[in-house]
Amino acid sequence: YVFISAPGVVMLAPSGAGSDAVTGTSFAAAFVSGAIANLIHAAPDRSAADIEKALAATAKVLGPKGRDNDFGYGRMATKA
């Protein structure tokens, strides 16, 4: 079920008047959603398949090479 992993442990997030360290899949999902939005903004004609290929191709492998049940294709790239 895992396609790609994303940072989601001890993430800095807005909280009240400042920020707080947070952990969870809700933050990882927002990270991936933002990256996908940037890919679409950069090339609006990109298909869902193109976006999946880009995410998989740039992921840092964390487990066995290729897609695995724990990390998917790996951790989503965090730098361009």
With a cut of 60, say whether residue 30 has pLDDT above it.
Answer: yes
Which neighbouring-strand residues pair with 15?
Answer: 18
Q: Count the Cβ atoms, other than its own, within 10 Å of residue 6.
A: 22
Q: Count the Cβ atoms, other than its own, within 10 Å of residue 3.
A: 14
**Rounded to whole angstroms, how far apart are CA atoms 47 and 68?**
24
User: pLDDT class for 79, splitting at 50, 70, 90?
Assistant: low
Structure-block tokens of residue 36? 């996908």
With a cut of 80, say whether residue 14 has pLDDT above it.
Answer: yes
Backbone angles phi, psi at 15, to 5 degrees: -155, 110
